[in-house]
Amino acid sequence: GDSVTQMEGPVTLSEEAFLTINCTYTATGYPSLFWYVQYPGEGLQLLLKATKADDKGSNKGFEATYRKETTSFHLEKGSVQVSDSAVYFCALKRDNYGQNFVFGPGTRLSVLP
């Protein structure tokens, strides 16, 4: 079945460090890909998305490129801030009627000052 795999956390970085959170997926067809962020005590918020191969999603300094050849959608940011500390979820949406979202397990990021 369809699935999303993320690098295990927690990831701990110093402020201004470069961030990469790996995400790979398995899916039939051509899904859309999403990154969500969850801050402590809150719900998931959409961070960025890409709907077809080679699309790059970007928001708030984060970016991710839909790589069909490697079935990946890695999240990157050039310089993280303490306020980026959160849990990050990679997800795919498939074209079917019904249960159409698949989420990864989440990766916790802690950024130290």
Query: Interface with other proteins by CB under 8 A: which residues?
Result: 30-32, 34, 36, 42-46, 49, 51, 89, 91, 93-101, 103-106
Considering beta carbons, is residue 70 or 99 the nearer one to other proteins? 99
Shortest distance, position 62 Cβ to other proteins, whole Å: 15
Q: How far is CA 93 from CA 41, 49, 75, 90, in A?
A: 25, 10, 17, 11
Give me the least distance between CB of 84 and other proteins, in Å please.
Answer: 19
Q: Residue 86: beta bridge partners? A: 109
Let me know: does 65 contact 55? Beta carbons within 8 Å.
yes
Minimum distance of other proteins from residue 89's CB (angstroms) = 7
